[in-house]
């Protein structure tokens, strides 16, 4: 192997200039407003292509102990951890026709998780399941979600094809009233909100997008009735079709090689190329992953979390391209703390970043035979500016005669959709089918979207209060004025690329809060002082990454080029330290978040 090339100072200057130029080609004055909410504006996306008919049932007017909103991994893990705490009545309310969340909706061809399956799939120790591939296909992950739900008896009370539409605190009974789009109006002692982060599909506001007369869908609502086949391919319905795909993010990179195999012709409309590193997927045995003792999966995922959070480990158990590049991801995570001179650190960081990006650009050259196409596929930005992707199939797809790459950077994306295709850069591409791999509204699902109003004590609406006072929580989970409401997700805590690990720690915490409240006959409600202290703790050591993101190519990591705001959004010392903090707090201070009930506990509560 040749030694990695170390970029010289003059090369770094040239790169900086190139990166700035490429950013300027892409920044749009409308920023995030360029996107449209697919469900709100294109109603047909609300349909569920994977469940033909929702189960018939009448509206419910009963009482349950805990209501969990969302049946993805967050909600399932909350349910499982609550069961482990002895809570019997857990009602998970889920919009989809079954459990799985993102893995229920995303069934596009080629769908896999690019985080190692042995650390990504939660509760492997508890279920005894050992994945057989380093990177699992979406269907295996969805079936594992179902496995956990079955193991912990979560189907019994679950409501599928149902969306919660409002939560209202009833002062007299000290319970929440839950309203849904199926006419339910039931009471519950506790609510756990687990509505996910990337759930609402978005579409670009391309002029004429509504006029397209061919077939069209978003990748998270794949229409196999039209394409034929399955996530493994075999889309015979596309054999005589001209297909266009918009978007080359993590989804596009997985779906495009499959479309290339099956479509008569594939046009890939690219605005910004992703970084596409090696994936090296392979079969694994239990021996390969050390699945020979109790707790192996917990150890492995802790090891991965430590590495991607910048903490020292003796051995890299996962040893993949995430862990190899972990140091370069620090601009996404507040947790990387290095001693010494910050200038020297930044200089070393820039050299390492340039070396990595050179390696990835060289990868394009080594694979793509047409130099013009290869040039367009090269990413010109720093590694942490966009979500990294991994594929061994993506670049070879562009060597096929039936695949055309259309670069749309100069026109800030596709210029116009017409009745029969796409016009951009002065050329019209006639299409039978147009697939949008254009991602999701970020961080605005569930309560934060504003479409699920939450009225707490005194009828105060949660988002109104946060608009006035700023977002206020204790550890991201609970808020004063909103008793027994526990929020999961990335708000005011610490996240990681292995999001299921983060969710499981949150689920353990949520279940412990419920158990403590039940044991003491109390409500979970932090004081305003506890919220103040948490916000101060978040702000105290907040890192300054704003300048870095301000120079990045636009995307959802940096509010479409407007930069990444500093402030009390996440715990500055990272996920490993945050989980430690939660454990200590549960051992010593959990009573701080409890306050006495005034109403008698409901007899049909949690046990
Ligand atoms: P992204 O938001 O990451 O990508 C959207 C793509 O659409 C970008 O390439 C974007 O270009 C492009 N686009 C948007 N508007 C236009 C336009 N007007 N013209 C041309 N192109 C346009 O969505 P994804 O669905 O790919 O990924 C969402 C997230 O889901 C990921 O970041 C990841 O966290 C997760 N995911 C995880 C996977 C895993 O294996 N763990 C697999 C798939 C997804 P531009 O970059 O220029 O904005």
Taking only the tens place, the pLDDT of each residue in 391-421 is 999 999 999 999 999 999 988 889 999 999 9
Residues with CB under 6 A from ligand 1: 26, 112-115, 198, 204, 206, 246-252, 254, 269, 271-272, 387, 408, 413-414, 437-440, 555-556
CA of 439 to the centre of ligand 1 (A): 5
Ligand 1 probe mutation, 108, 112, 249, most atoms within 8 A of CB: 249
Six-digit token string for 36 = 């449209």
Q: Which atom of ligand 1 is nearest to the CA of 111?
A: 42
Please give the pLDDT value at position 566: 54
Count the Cβ atoms, other than its own, within 10 Å of residue 466.
15
Reported as a single tens digit per residue, the pLDDT across 515-562 is 999 999 999 999 999 999 999 998 887 666 666 777 888 887 777 777
The answer to whether the CB of 495 falls within 8 A of the CB of 307 is no
Q: Average model confidence (pLDDT) for the chain? A: 91
User: Rounded to an integer, what distance in angstroms lies between the CA atom of residue 392 and that of residue 298?
Assistant: 29
CA of 267 to the centre of ligand 1 (A): 17
- What domains can be seen in the chain, in order of their start residue? 9-37+202-279+363-436 (3.50.50.60), 63-200+442-539+573-596 (3.50.50.60)
The answer to whether the CB of 391 falls within 8 A of the CB of 279 is yes
Beta bridge partners of 180: 164
Largest alpha-carbon pair distance within the chain? 74
Q: Give all strands (DSSP E) within 439-552, no chain letters.
A: 454-455, 485-487, 522-524
Specify the range with the lowest mean pLDDT, choosing from 251-265, 439-453, 577-591.
Answer: 439-453
The answer to whether the CB of 329 falls within 8 A of the CB of 312 is no
Beta bridge partners of 159: 93
Report the percentage of the chain scoring pLDDT > 70. Answer: 93
Q: Whose CA is nearest to atom 10 of ligand 1?
A: 247
- Whether residue 1 is predicted with pLDDT greater than 50 in this model: the reply is no
Six-digit token string for 467 = 């608009």
User: Rounded to an integer, what distance in angstroms lies between the CA atom of residue 473 and that of residue 577?
Assistant: 18
Please give the pLDDT value at position 46: 62
User: Rounded to an integer, what distance in angstroms lies between the CA atom of residue 577 and that of residue 592?
Assistant: 20
Q: Which atom of ligand 1 is nearest to the CA of 249?
A: 26
Six-digit token string for 283 = 């079969």
Rounded to an integer, the average pLDDT of 307-331 is 91
CA of 231 to the centre of ligand 1 (A): 18
Count the Cβ atoms, other than its own, within 10 Å of residue 521.
11
* Total-model pTM: 0.94
Reported as a single tens digit per residue, the pLDDT across 432-457 is 999 999 998 876 668 888 889 999 99
| Residue whose tokens read 């009448």 | 58
CA of 509 to the centre of ligand 1 (A): 31
Count the Cβ atoms, other than its own, within 10 Å of residue 467.
10
Specify the range with the lowest mean pLDDT, choosing from 211-225, 262-276, 460-474, 548-562.
Answer: 548-562
Report the percentage of the chain scoring pLDDT > 90. Answer: 73
Beta bridge partners of 91: 67
Helix runs in 263-391, H state only: 296-308, 321-324, 342-367, 371-377
Q: Which atom of ligand 1 is nearest to the CA of 219?
A: 25
Q: Which pLDDT band holds residue 349 (cuts at 50, 70, 90)?
A: confident
Q: Whose CA is nearest to atom 33 of ligand 1?
A: 250
CA of 272 to the centre of ligand 1 (A): 10
Ligand 1 probe mutation, 35, 115, 247, 406, most atoms within 8 A of CB: 247
Ligand 1 probe mutation, 32, 35, 111, 271, most atoms within 8 A of CB: 271
Q: Which atom of ligand 1 is nearest to the CA of 247?
A: 7
Rounded to an integer, the average pLDDT of 298-327 is 94
CA of 501 to the centre of ligand 1 (A): 22
Q: Whose CA is nearest to atom 2 of ligand 1?
A: 439
Specify the range with the lowest mean pLDDT, choosing from 109-118, 262-271, 593-602.
Answer: 593-602
Classify each residue of 548-576 as buried b or exposed e, where b means 16 or more C-beta atoms within 10 Å of its C-beta: bbebbbbbbbbebbebbeeebbbbbbbbb
- Whether residue 5 is predicted with pLDDT greater than 50 in this model: the reply is yes
Please classify residue 526 by burial: count the beta carbons closer than 10 Å to its beta carbon, then call 0-12 exposed, 13-18 middle and 19+ buried.
buried
SS3 state at 405: strand
User: Rounded to an integer, what distance in angstroms lies between the CA atom of residue 549 and that of residue 146?
Assistant: 38
Q: Which pLDDT band holds residue 390 (cuts at 50, 70, 90)?
A: very high
Count the Cβ atoms, other than its own, within 10 Å of residue 590.
18
CA of 249 to the centre of ligand 1 (A): 4
Q: Whose CA is nearest to atom 20 of ligand 1?
A: 413
Q: Whose CA is nearest to atom 37 of ligand 1?
A: 250
SS3 state at 187: strand
Counted residue by residue, the chain has a size of: 607
Q: Are strands 276-277 and 265-270 parallel, antiparallel or unpaired?
A: unpaired
User: Rounded to an integer, what distance in angstroms lies between the CA atom of residue 393 and that of residue 84?
Assistant: 42
Pick from 206, 233, 155, 210: which is nearest to 35 by CA? 206
Pick from 477, 272, 292: which is nearest to 378 by CA? 272
Chain center to CA of 195: 11
User: Rounded to an integer, what distance in angstroms lies between the CA atom of residue 123 and that of residue 136?
Assistant: 15
φ and ψ at residue 128, rounded to 5 degrees: 75, 10
Helix runs in 219-341, H state only: 224-227, 250-262, 296-308, 321-324
CA of 379 to the centre of ligand 1 (A): 14
Q: Which pLDDT band holds residue 179 (cuts at 50, 70, 90)?
A: very high
User: Rounded to an integer, what distance in angstroms lies between the CA atom of residue 406 and that of residue 270?
Assistant: 6
Rounded to an integer, the average pLDDT of 571-590 is 94
Q: How far, CA to CA in Å, does 144 sit from each of 72, 76, 131, 297, 498?
A: 11, 11, 10, 15, 16
Q: Which atom of ligand 1 is nearest to the CA of 271?
A: 47
Which has the higher per-residue pLDDT, 20 or 200?
Answer: 20
CA of 590 to the centre of ligand 1 (A): 40
């Amino acid at each position: 192997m040749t030694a990695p090339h170390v970029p010289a100072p003059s090369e770094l200057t040239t790169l900086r200039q190139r990166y700035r130029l490429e950013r300027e080609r892409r920044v749009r004055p409308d920023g995030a407003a360029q996107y449209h909410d697919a469900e709100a504006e294109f109603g047909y996306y609300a349909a569920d292509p994977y469940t033909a008919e929702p189960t018939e049932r009448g509206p419910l007017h009963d009482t349950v102990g805990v209501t969990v909103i969302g049946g993805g991994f967050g909600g399932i893990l909350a349910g499982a951890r609550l069961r482990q705490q002895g809570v019997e009545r857990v009602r998970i309310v889920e919009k989809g026709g079954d459990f799985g969340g993102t893995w229920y909706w995303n069934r596009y061809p080629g769908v896999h998780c690019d985080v190692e399956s042995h650390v990504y799939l939660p509760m492997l120790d508890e279920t005894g399941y050992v994945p057989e591939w380093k990177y699992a296909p979406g269907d295996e992950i969805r079936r594992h979600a179902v496995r956990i739900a079955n193991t912990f008896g979560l189907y019994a009370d679950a409501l599928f094809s149902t969306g919660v539409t409002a939560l209202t605190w009833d002062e007299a009974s000290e319970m929440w009233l839950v309203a849904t789009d199926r006419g339910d109006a039931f009471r519950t002692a506790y609510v756990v909100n687990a509505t996910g982060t990337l759930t609402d599909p978005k579409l670009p506001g391309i002029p004429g997008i509504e006029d397209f007369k061919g077939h069209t869908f978003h990748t998270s609502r794949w229409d196999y009735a039209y394409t034929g086949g399955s996530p493994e391919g075999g889309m015979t319905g596309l054999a005589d079709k001209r297909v266009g795909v918009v978007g080359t993010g993590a989804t596009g990179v997985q779906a495009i090689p499959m479309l290339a195999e099956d479509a008569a012709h594939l046009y890939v409309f690219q605005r910004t190329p992703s970084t596409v590193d090696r994936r090296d997927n392979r079969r694994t045995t239990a021996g390969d992953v050390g699945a020979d003792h109790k707790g192996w999966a917990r150890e492995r995922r802790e090891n991965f979390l430590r590495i991607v959070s910048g903490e020292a480990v003796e051995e890299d158990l996962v040893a993949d391209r995430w862990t190899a590049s972990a140091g370069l991801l620090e601009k996404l995570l507040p947790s990387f703390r290095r001693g010494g001179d910050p200038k020297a650190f930044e200089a070393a960081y820039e050299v390492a970043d340039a070396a990595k990006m050179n390696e990835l650009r060289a990868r394009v050259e080594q694979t793509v035979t047409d130099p013009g196409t290869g040039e367009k596929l090269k990413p010109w930005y720093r590694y942490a500016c966009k979500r990294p992707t991994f594929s061994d199939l993506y670049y070879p797809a562009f060597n096929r005669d039936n695949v055309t790459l259309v670069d749309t950077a100069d026109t800030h994306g596709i210029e116009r959709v017409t009745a029969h295709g796409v016009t951009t850069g002065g050329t019209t591409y006639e299409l039978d089918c147009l697939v949008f791999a254009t991602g999701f509204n970020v961080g605005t699902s569930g309560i934060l979207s504003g479409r699920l109003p939450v009225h707490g004590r005194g009828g105060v609406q949660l988002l109104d209060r946060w608009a006035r006072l700023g977002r206020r929580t204790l550890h991201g989970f609970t808020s004063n004025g909103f008793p027994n409401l526990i929020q999961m997700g990335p708000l005011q805590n610490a996240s990681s690329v292995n999001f299921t690990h983060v969710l499981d720690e949150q689920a353990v915490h949520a279940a412990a809060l419920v158990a403590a409240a039940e044991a003491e006959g109390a409500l979970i409600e932090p004081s305003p002082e506890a919220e103040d202290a948490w916000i101060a703790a978040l702000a105290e050591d907040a890192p300054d990454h704003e300048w870095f993101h301000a120079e990045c190519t636009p995307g959802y990591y940096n509010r479409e080029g407007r930069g990444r705001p500093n402030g009390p959004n996440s715990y500055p010392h990272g996920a490993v330290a945050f989980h430690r903090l939660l454990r200590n707090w549960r051992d010593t201070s959990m009573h701080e978040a409890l306050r006495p009930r005034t109403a008698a506990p409901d007899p049909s509560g949690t046990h």
